[in-house]
Amino acid sequence: MVVSSNTLALREAPDNSAKQVAALRKGMVVQFVEAWKNGEYVQLDTTDPESPYAPWLRVQVEGKKGWVFGAYLTSAIGLFYENDYTFDRKVLPPSYWYGVYARDSFADEVRKINVRQEEEQSEVYDTKVGVLKTDQQEISKFLIASIVPLQTGYCGSLGIFEMRDFFGTATLGPGSQIAIYPGNDLTDTLMKPSYGFAATGCAVLEEGYVQVHDYKLLLLDFSTEPPFRQDLTDWVKPENIDINPTVNVLWFGDLDRDNKPDVILQDCPYEAGCRASLFLSSKAKKGELLRKVSEHFWPGD
Protein backbone atom coordinates (compact mmCIF):
# COMPACT_ATOMS: atom_id res chain seq x y z
CA MET A 1 0.00 0.00 0.00
CA VAL A 2 1.03 3.65 -0.41
CA VAL A 3 1.04 6.48 2.16
CA SER A 4 -1.31 9.20 0.85
CA SER A 5 -0.95 11.83 3.64
CA ASN A 6 2.04 14.12 4.10
CA THR A 7 3.06 12.25 7.28
CA LEU A 8 1.62 9.14 8.95
CA ALA A 9 2.40 7.70 12.38
CA LEU A 10 3.40 4.04 12.60
CA ARG A 11 2.23 2.97 16.08
CA GLU A 12 2.81 0.01 18.41
CA ALA A 13 -0.93 -0.69 18.75
CA PRO A 14 -4.15 0.14 16.83
CA ASP A 15 -4.85 3.20 18.95
CA ASN A 16 -4.39 6.90 18.26
CA SER A 17 -2.62 7.32 21.61
CA ALA A 18 -0.26 4.34 21.22
CA LYS A 19 3.50 4.92 21.09
CA GLN A 20 4.82 6.02 17.70
CA VAL A 21 7.34 3.63 16.14
CA ALA A 22 8.16 5.71 13.05
CA ALA A 23 6.91 8.61 10.94
CA LEU A 24 6.04 7.61 7.38
CA ARG A 25 6.25 10.02 4.45
CA LYS A 26 3.84 10.58 1.57
CA GLY A 27 4.48 8.15 -1.28
CA MET A 28 6.20 5.49 0.84
CA VAL A 29 5.25 1.92 -0.09
CA VAL A 30 4.37 -0.35 2.85
CA GLN A 31 3.59 -4.06 3.03
CA PHE A 32 0.13 -4.91 4.40
CA VAL A 33 0.24 -7.57 7.16
CA GLU A 34 -3.23 -7.73 8.73
CA ALA A 35 -6.34 -5.70 9.55
CA TRP A 36 -7.48 -5.09 13.12
CA LYS A 37 -10.82 -6.78 13.97
CA ASN A 38 -11.25 -8.15 10.44
CA GLY A 39 -11.12 -4.68 8.89
CA GLU A 40 -13.78 -3.06 11.09
CA TYR A 41 -14.23 0.65 10.39
CA VAL A 42 -13.67 2.84 13.46
CA GLN A 43 -13.33 6.58 14.08
CA LEU A 44 -9.80 7.85 14.55
CA ASP A 45 -10.68 10.41 17.24
CA THR A 46 -13.94 9.75 19.10
CA THR A 47 -13.94 13.27 20.57
CA ASP A 48 -13.88 14.91 17.13
CA PRO A 49 -17.13 14.44 15.12
CA GLU A 50 -15.24 15.28 11.91
CA SER A 51 -12.63 12.55 12.48
CA PRO A 52 -12.47 10.04 9.58
CA TYR A 53 -13.66 6.42 9.69
CA ALA A 54 -11.34 3.65 8.47
CA PRO A 55 -9.79 0.36 9.63
CA TRP A 56 -6.52 0.10 11.57
CA LEU A 57 -3.97 -1.80 9.47
CA ARG A 58 -0.76 -3.52 10.53
CA VAL A 59 2.03 -2.94 8.02
CA GLN A 60 5.74 -3.52 7.56
CA VAL A 61 8.13 -0.91 6.22
CA GLU A 62 11.94 -0.71 6.29
CA GLY A 63 12.17 -3.64 8.69
CA LYS A 64 9.64 -2.22 11.17
CA LYS A 65 6.11 -3.42 11.88
CA GLY A 66 3.33 -1.34 13.38
CA TRP A 67 -0.23 -0.05 13.05
CA VAL A 68 -1.42 2.82 10.86
CA PHE A 69 -4.85 4.36 10.34
CA GLY A 70 -6.22 3.15 6.99
CA ALA A 71 -7.70 6.48 5.93
CA TYR A 72 -4.17 7.67 5.14
CA LEU A 73 -3.12 4.69 3.05
CA THR A 74 -4.20 3.77 -0.45
CA SER A 75 -3.82 0.48 -2.26
CA ALA A 76 -0.96 -0.04 -4.68
CA ILE A 77 -3.85 -0.72 -7.05
CA GLY A 78 -6.90 1.30 -6.02
CA LEU A 79 -10.52 0.95 -7.12
CA PHE A 80 -12.55 4.17 -7.44
CA TYR A 81 -15.75 5.35 -9.07
CA GLU A 82 -16.44 8.53 -11.00
CA ASN A 83 -18.67 11.14 -9.29
CA ASP A 84 -18.13 9.42 -5.95
CA TYR A 85 -17.74 11.49 -2.78
CA THR A 86 -14.30 12.10 -1.30
CA PHE A 87 -14.36 13.85 2.06
CA ASP A 88 -10.57 14.21 2.34
CA ARG A 89 -8.93 16.42 -0.28
CA LYS A 90 -5.72 14.40 0.09
CA VAL A 91 -7.42 11.15 -0.89
CA LEU A 92 -5.97 10.97 -4.41
CA PRO A 93 -2.83 8.81 -4.37
CA PRO A 94 0.39 9.72 -6.20
CA SER A 95 -0.04 7.23 -9.03
CA TYR A 96 -1.12 6.52 -12.59
CA TRP A 97 -4.85 6.80 -13.25
CA TYR A 98 -6.90 4.71 -15.67
CA GLY A 99 -10.56 4.42 -16.58
CA VAL A 100 -12.45 1.41 -17.94
CA TYR A 101 -14.94 2.36 -20.67
CA ALA A 102 -17.29 0.60 -23.08
CA ARG A 103 -15.35 0.75 -26.35
CA ASP A 104 -18.19 -0.68 -28.46
CA SER A 105 -21.03 -3.18 -28.14
CA PHE A 106 -18.78 -6.13 -27.31
CA ALA A 107 -15.61 -4.67 -25.80
CA ASP A 108 -14.29 -2.66 -22.86
CA GLU A 109 -11.06 -0.70 -22.96
CA VAL A 110 -8.56 0.82 -20.52
CA ARG A 111 -7.69 4.50 -21.05
CA LYS A 112 -5.00 6.55 -19.32
CA ILE A 113 -6.79 9.53 -17.79
CA ASN A 114 -6.40 12.54 -15.51
CA VAL A 115 -8.48 12.68 -12.33
CA ARG A 116 -9.36 15.68 -10.20
CA GLN A 117 -11.59 16.53 -7.25
CA GLU A 118 -14.31 19.16 -7.54
CA GLU A 119 -16.34 20.51 -4.64
CA GLU A 120 -20.10 20.05 -4.84
CA GLN A 121 -22.88 20.59 -2.34
CA SER A 122 -24.28 17.30 -1.06
CA GLU A 123 -27.94 17.24 -0.04
CA VAL A 124 -27.34 13.92 1.72
CA TYR A 125 -24.57 15.23 4.00
CA ASP A 126 -25.63 18.91 3.96
CA THR A 127 -22.10 20.06 3.27
CA LYS A 128 -19.66 20.48 0.43
CA VAL A 129 -17.82 17.30 -0.52
CA GLY A 130 -15.14 16.42 -3.05
CA VAL A 131 -16.35 14.59 -6.15
CA LEU A 132 -14.10 12.58 -8.48
CA LYS A 133 -14.05 13.83 -12.07
CA THR A 134 -12.03 12.81 -15.15
CA ASP A 135 -10.91 14.50 -18.37
CA GLN A 136 -13.05 12.18 -20.53
CA GLN A 137 -16.43 13.00 -22.06
CA GLU A 138 -17.86 9.55 -21.36
CA ILE A 139 -18.62 8.22 -17.87
CA SER A 140 -16.34 5.34 -16.94
CA LYS A 141 -17.44 1.99 -15.55
CA PHE A 142 -14.81 2.37 -12.83
CA LEU A 143 -11.41 3.95 -12.19
CA ILE A 144 -8.08 2.34 -11.32
CA ALA A 145 -5.17 4.07 -9.56
CA SER A 146 -1.90 2.13 -9.82
CA ILE A 147 1.67 2.81 -8.67
CA VAL A 148 2.88 1.01 -11.83
CA PRO A 149 1.71 1.64 -15.41
CA LEU A 150 -1.07 -0.51 -16.86
CA GLN A 151 -1.44 -1.52 -20.49
CA THR A 152 -4.15 0.46 -22.28
CA GLY A 153 -6.58 -0.89 -24.87
CA TYR A 154 -8.89 -3.90 -24.86
CA CYS A 155 -9.67 -5.37 -21.43
CA GLY A 156 -12.88 -7.39 -21.71
CA SER A 157 -15.95 -8.40 -23.66
CA LEU A 158 -18.86 -6.76 -21.83
CA GLY A 159 -18.95 -3.46 -23.74
CA ILE A 160 -22.31 -1.73 -23.42
CA PHE A 161 -23.77 -4.84 -21.80
CA GLU A 162 -24.00 -5.74 -18.13
CA MET A 163 -23.81 -9.11 -16.45
CA ARG A 164 -27.59 -9.56 -16.35
CA ASP A 165 -27.75 -9.13 -20.13
CA PHE A 166 -25.79 -12.37 -20.52
CA PHE A 167 -26.83 -14.52 -17.59
CA GLY A 168 -30.19 -13.24 -16.38
CA THR A 169 -28.67 -12.40 -13.00
CA ALA A 170 -25.31 -11.43 -11.57
CA THR A 171 -26.30 -12.38 -8.03
CA LEU A 172 -24.31 -15.14 -6.35
CA GLY A 173 -26.95 -16.44 -3.97
CA PRO A 174 -27.08 -20.10 -2.94
CA GLY A 175 -27.54 -22.26 -6.04
CA SER A 176 -26.05 -19.69 -8.48
CA GLN A 177 -23.27 -20.38 -10.97
CA ILE A 178 -21.68 -17.74 -13.22
CA ALA A 179 -18.77 -17.98 -15.69
CA ILE A 180 -16.11 -15.26 -16.09
CA TYR A 181 -13.45 -15.05 -18.78
CA PRO A 182 -10.81 -12.59 -20.04
CA GLY A 183 -12.39 -12.26 -23.48
CA ASN A 184 -10.84 -11.95 -26.94
CA ASP A 185 -10.36 -8.86 -29.05
CA LEU A 186 -11.16 -8.91 -32.78
CA THR A 187 -7.79 -10.32 -33.93
CA ASP A 188 -7.09 -12.37 -30.80
CA THR A 189 -7.46 -16.13 -31.37
CA LEU A 190 -5.81 -17.41 -28.17
CA MET A 191 -7.64 -20.04 -26.14
CA LYS A 192 -7.90 -18.56 -22.65
CA PRO A 193 -9.03 -20.08 -19.34
CA SER A 194 -12.56 -19.56 -18.07
CA TYR A 195 -13.38 -19.58 -14.38
CA GLY A 196 -16.73 -20.18 -12.77
CA PHE A 197 -18.28 -18.92 -9.54
CA ALA A 198 -20.42 -21.47 -7.71
CA ALA A 199 -22.40 -20.38 -4.65
CA THR A 200 -23.85 -22.95 -2.26
CA GLY A 201 -25.81 -22.79 0.98
CA CYS A 202 -29.24 -23.34 2.44
CA ALA A 203 -31.95 -20.66 2.60
CA VAL A 204 -34.49 -21.31 5.34
CA LEU A 205 -37.59 -19.35 6.35
CA GLU A 206 -37.26 -18.61 10.05
CA GLU A 207 -39.98 -16.64 11.88
CA GLY A 208 -40.94 -14.69 8.79
CA TYR A 209 -37.39 -13.99 7.56
CA VAL A 210 -35.21 -15.94 5.15
CA GLN A 211 -31.89 -16.93 6.76
CA VAL A 212 -29.00 -18.35 4.71
CA HIS A 213 -26.89 -21.02 6.41
CA ASP A 214 -23.54 -22.55 5.40
CA TYR A 215 -22.92 -20.12 2.53
CA LYS A 216 -19.85 -20.86 0.42
CA LEU A 217 -18.45 -19.09 -2.64
CA LEU A 218 -16.13 -21.23 -4.76
CA LEU A 219 -14.12 -20.31 -7.85
CA LEU A 220 -13.64 -23.14 -10.35
CA ASP A 221 -10.98 -23.57 -13.04
CA PHE A 222 -12.53 -25.66 -15.82
CA SER A 223 -9.18 -26.33 -17.53
CA THR A 224 -8.40 -29.07 -15.01
CA GLU A 225 -10.13 -32.39 -14.40
CA PRO A 226 -11.73 -32.32 -11.92
CA PRO A 227 -12.01 -28.49 -11.83
CA PHE A 228 -9.60 -26.84 -9.39
CA ARG A 229 -11.42 -25.00 -6.58
CA GLN A 230 -10.52 -21.84 -4.69
CA ASP A 231 -12.66 -20.99 -1.67
CA LEU A 232 -13.48 -17.24 -1.67
CA THR A 233 -15.99 -17.38 1.19
CA ASP A 234 -13.81 -15.49 3.67
CA TRP A 235 -13.55 -12.54 1.27
CA VAL A 236 -17.34 -12.04 1.28
CA LYS A 237 -18.32 -13.25 4.75
CA PRO A 238 -20.70 -10.88 6.61
CA GLU A 239 -19.34 -9.34 9.80
CA ASN A 240 -22.47 -10.35 11.73
CA ILE A 241 -23.71 -13.96 11.48
CA ASP A 242 -27.30 -12.67 11.39
CA ILE A 243 -26.65 -10.83 8.12
CA ASN A 244 -27.27 -12.86 4.99
CA PRO A 245 -24.43 -12.84 2.41
CA THR A 246 -25.22 -10.59 -0.55
CA VAL A 247 -22.72 -11.06 -3.37
CA ASN A 248 -22.91 -9.76 -6.95
CA VAL A 249 -20.55 -9.82 -9.93
CA LEU A 250 -20.12 -6.21 -11.13
CA TRP A 251 -17.55 -6.72 -13.90
CA PHE A 252 -15.11 -9.22 -15.39
CA GLY A 253 -12.34 -8.99 -17.98
CA ASP A 254 -8.54 -8.82 -18.11
CA LEU A 255 -7.14 -5.67 -16.50
CA ASP A 256 -3.62 -7.00 -15.91
CA ARG A 257 -3.39 -8.46 -19.45
CA ASP A 258 -2.17 -11.91 -18.42
CA ASN A 259 -4.92 -13.67 -20.45
CA LYS A 260 -6.69 -14.81 -17.28
CA PRO A 261 -9.96 -13.50 -15.84
CA ASP A 262 -10.12 -10.60 -13.37
CA VAL A 263 -13.32 -9.66 -11.57
CA ILE A 264 -15.04 -7.05 -9.39
CA LEU A 265 -17.39 -8.47 -6.74
CA GLN A 266 -19.79 -6.48 -4.59
CA ASP A 267 -20.85 -7.66 -1.14
CA CYS A 268 -22.48 -6.07 1.91
CA PRO A 269 -20.65 -7.38 4.99
CA TYR A 270 -21.86 -4.71 7.43
CA GLU A 271 -25.25 -3.61 8.71
CA ALA A 272 -24.84 -0.35 6.77
CA GLY A 273 -22.58 -0.22 3.76
CA CYS A 274 -21.44 -2.28 0.80
CA ARG A 275 -18.10 -2.66 -0.95
CA ALA A 276 -16.78 -3.43 -4.41
CA SER A 277 -13.66 -5.60 -4.37
CA LEU A 278 -11.16 -5.94 -7.22
CA PHE A 279 -9.61 -9.40 -7.71
CA LEU A 280 -6.64 -9.84 -10.07
CA SER A 281 -5.27 -13.11 -11.43
CA SER A 282 -1.72 -11.71 -11.65
CA LYS A 283 -1.67 -11.23 -7.86
CA ALA A 284 -2.79 -14.79 -7.07
CA LYS A 285 -0.47 -16.80 -4.84
CA LYS A 286 0.32 -20.51 -5.11
CA GLY A 287 -2.91 -22.49 -4.90
CA GLU A 288 -5.05 -19.49 -5.95
CA LEU A 289 -6.71 -18.29 -9.14
CA LEU A 290 -7.54 -14.76 -7.97
CA ARG A 291 -6.51 -12.52 -5.10
CA LYS A 292 -8.20 -9.38 -3.79
CA VAL A 293 -6.06 -6.25 -4.29
CA SER A 294 -8.36 -3.39 -3.23
CA GLU A 295 -11.88 -2.42 -2.26
CA HIS A 296 -14.19 0.55 -2.59
CA PHE A 297 -16.57 1.12 0.34
CA TRP A 298 -19.97 2.76 0.03
CA PRO A 299 -21.22 3.73 3.51
CA GLY A 300 -24.96 3.57 3.94
CA ASP A 301 -25.79 1.62 0.76
* Residue 139 domain boundaries: 77-154
Do residues 49 and 68 both lie within one domain?
Answer: yes
Distance CA 86, CA 130 (A): 5
Q: Is residue 159 part of a domain?
A: no
Q: Is residue 251 part of a domain?
A: yes
The neighbour count for residue 116, using CB atoms within 10 Å, is: 12
Do residues 182 and 291 both lie within one domain?
Answer: yes
Percent of the chain whose predicted confidence (pLDDT) is above 70: 96
**What pLDDT is stored for residue 140 in this prediction?**
97
**What pLDDT is stored for residue 301 in this prediction?**
39
Do residues 199 and 288 both lie within one domain?
Answer: yes
**What pLDDT is stored for residue 262 in this prediction?**
98
Q: Is residue 162 part of a domain?
A: no
Do residues 174 and 272 both lie within one domain?
Answer: yes
Residues 86-105 have a mean pLDDT of 78
How confident is the model over 59-86, as pLDDT tens digits? Answer: 999 999 999 999 898 878 989 999 887 7
Calculate the average pLDDT of the chain: 90
Distance CA 255, CA 278 (A): 10
Do residues 199 and 294 both lie within one domain?
Answer: yes
Q: Is residue 149 part of a domain?
A: yes
Asked if residue 98 lies in contact with residue 108, where contact means CB atoms within 8 angstroms, the answer is no
**What pLDDT is stored for residue 79 in this prediction?**
93
Residue 100 pLDDT greater than 60, yes or no: yes
Residues 24-45 have a mean pLDDT of 89
How confident is the model over 163-203, as pLDDT tens digits? Answer: 777 767 789 999 999 999 999 998 898 889 999 999 999 99
Do residues 133 and 235 both lie within one domain?
Answer: no
Q: Is residue 160 part of a domain?
A: no
Do residues 175 and 289 both lie within one domain?
Answer: yes
Residue 24 pLDDT greater than 90, yes or no: yes
Residue 134 pLDDT greater than 80, yes or no: yes
Do residues 132 and 34 both lie within one domain?
Answer: no
Q: Is residue 161 part of a domain?
A: no
Angle at 59 between CA 53 and CA 61, to 5 degrees: 130
**What pLDDT is stored for residue 122 in this prediction?**
78
Do residues 252 and 208 both lie within one domain?
Answer: yes
Residues 286-296 have a mean pLDDT of 93
Radius of gyration of the chain (CA): 20
286 confidence band (pLDDT: 50, 70, 90):
very high
Last residue of a domain, one of 24, 57, 74: 74
Instruction: Tally the domains of the chain.
Output: 3
Do residues 186 and 199 both lie within one domain?
Answer: yes
Q: Is residue 177 part of a domain?
A: yes
Last residue of a domain, one of 28, 50, 74: 74
